[in-house]
Chain A
Amino acid sequence: MALEIIESCVNCWACAPLCPNKAIYEAAPHFLIDADKCTECVGEFADAQCVAICPIEGAILDELGTEMNPPGSLTGIPPERWAAAQAEIAAR
């Protein structure tokens, strides 16, 4: 049972000091989670701490590859609205 940080991480450092297991470490090109140390905060906190502070949707996955913070959940921007804005910008 472990979480994973993927390439959309922006290296903001918010998660690392919160991890009760010191499982998160600085690496290039982005922070990583030591799967052997990660407990998903079970028994420590109600919510996995890295997931609870991460500002980037989709940057943290669980073992099944599920996005812990799915699109729209943090910014409040509906995914279809985001896609439309990106398409509009690309067409300029």
Chain B
Amino acid sequence: MDLPVIDNAPAKSGGCSTGSCGSTASQMDGMPDDIRAKVQDHPCYSEDAHHYFARMHVAVAPACNIQCHYCNRKYDCANESRPGVVSELLTPAQAVKKTLAVAATIPQMTVLGIAGPGDPLANPERTFETFRELAQKAPDIKLCVSTNGLSLPDHVEELAKHNIDHVTITINCVDPDVGAKIYPWIFWQNKRIHGREAAAILIERQQKGLEMLVARGILVKVNSVLIPGVNDEHLKEVSKIVKAKGAFLHNVMPLIAEAEHGTFYGVMGQRSPNPEELKNLQDACEGDMNMMRHCRQCRADAVGLLGEDRGDEFTMDKIDAMEIDYEAAMAVRAEFRARATAELEAKRNKAHAPKLPQAQVVQFMPRAAKAVPEAVPAAPVGRSVLMAVAAKGGLVAVHFGHAKEFLVYEASATGAKFVGHRKADAYCAGDDTCGDAESTLDRTIKALAGCEVVLCSKIGYEPWGNLEAAGIQPNGEHAMEAIEEAVAAVWNEMLAAGKLTAAPAANKVA
């Protein structure tokens, strides 16, 4: 049985003033048509799109004009996956060549971003030379850029000129006292400036840049790093302000801090938020803002679908050996894009086809209830449940032991809502390396804390038992089904079995 996905687009229901409530489908609904058209094949801006479309970053921008306490400028590593890390720095000419090679090999790749490893706009010559060349040679690739914002106001004109219609600004605070705990210094007007004064300048420039971009119709996503005890409560205010100024999406990411990364936060023992803290904050901000939940915090030289990195296939020596016929590639790419867009459109339409008569539809979204007080649920209904899914391409399609990550959905009477992801160590290598399996499995189970069900295409006997013992129900009965439908089906089974009236059985994982 399918669970109805309730259409709560603001204009129709009048129940949601935020335009950002509910399921994946309604995240897109909250956007005006022109924005939806711009982001429907951008994996970082549309949760739907990230199952189909891929992105790449080219590391042409090594210089930075600020220091953040979560960043170590010495970092250069092949085995780490997080922002600011790269394996090889490229010249603009190399970056163009790499982009064409990837685009010709991976037709899903629709977006080229420059995100460092420093700040792209602190390297304007290298960044804009890359954009200029690509706009000419690969007009079918969307260009975007991610910046700390300090020099953004100086470059808005040029960004508009190169047809860059997506910009991400990292805004961690709007209060210089908070900023002083995040940014030790900035380089500004030929001086290194420290502390609160530095943060005040940075904040002022970020906000000005945001306003200028919005005024020119360039889409702005705001990234924020959630740092417990530093800006956690404050980010709610940040979210309100950037939304009011016209940012269309807010991406709150968890701080990554380990002593071995050599960052201030890592060395000083600043802790990272746990998944529950992250989700609670995202939920709190969501009343005001479209929230991005599918960010994988990728490297500044990542290649491929979010959550995968195919960078190793495209090192400069391998690219030099490739022959690229970009004209031919563009035809293949156009064909792929048309097919994927049609599939996405069909999926969206299906999600909106009402499956129950209107009278039976009850809105349980807290915001909707707030806005329309009379729409209080009439009958008792099951609580929401977090379910982890070993997924690929929008389907329950991965063996539990092979999953590198799990997508987390919140299932409730209103349908399946994507709320985040958890990284897992794929423990089953199927060979001699299995010796370490037990501890890796334990780590994976720990990463799933808070989830009551895990859906996968298949699962072995041993992990089944361990998951059950940890209070997580494995489920392999929905292999190759669409995620939302599978999650809704499992929720309905739990509801029918009377498992959703009581509070969840305590998770037995720490």
B64 and A55 form a contact (CB under 8 A): yes
B184 and A74 form a contact (CB under 8 A): yes
Can you list 29 A-B pairs, Cβ within 8 angstroms, ordered by A?
A10-B76, A11-B62, A12-B62, A12-B118, A13-B63, A14-B63, A14-B64, A14-B122, A14-B187, A17-B63, A17-B125, A18-B190, A45-B190, A46-B190, A52-B187, A52-B190, A53-B192, A55-B73, A56-B74, A74-B184, A75-B184, A77-B264, A77-B267, A77-B268, A81-B267, A81-B268, A88-B259, A89-B259, A89-B260
Interface residues of A in 34-92 (CB under 8 A from B): 45-47, 49, 52-53, 55-56, 74-77, 81-82, 85, 88-89
Which A residues touch B64, using CB under 8 A?
12, 14, 55
Which B residues touch A46, using CB under 8 A?
190-191
Interface residues of B in 86-124 (CB under 8 A from A): 89, 118, 122-123
Which A residues touch B125, using CB under 8 A?
17
B191 and A52 form a contact (CB under 8 A): yes
Tell me the smallest distance from the CB of B313 to a CB of chain A, in Å: 25
Which interface class (under 10, 10 to 19, 20 to 34, 35 or more) fits B?
20 to 34
Count, chain A residues at interface, CB 8 A: 24
Which B residues touch A53, using CB under 8 A?
63, 65, 187, 192
Of chain B, the residue at the smallest CB distance from A75 is B264
Rounded to whole angstroms, the CA-CA distance of A47 and B260 in the bound complex is 32
A13 and B190 form a contact (CB under 8 A): no
Rounded to whole angstroms, the CA-CA distance of A81 and B187 in the bound complex is 25
Tell me the smallest distance from the CB of A12 to a CB of chain B, in Å: 4
Rounded to whole angstroms, the CA-CA distance of A82 and B262 in the bound complex is 8
Interface residues of A in 1-32 (CB under 8 A from B): 10-14, 17-18
Q: Does B507 contact A (CB under 8 A)?
A: no
Rounded to whole angstroms, the CA-CA distance of A88 and B267 in the bound complex is 10
Interface residues of B in 37-69 (CB under 8 A from A): 62-65, 67, 69
For B73, give its contact among A18, A56, A81, A85 (CB under 8 Å).
Answer: A56
Tell me the smallest distance from the CB of A52 to a CB of chain B, in Å: 4
Given A14-B64, A85-B259, answer yes or no on A76-B123 (Cβ-Cβ < 8 Å).
no
Tell me the smallest distance from the CB of A73 to a CB of chain B, in Å: 9
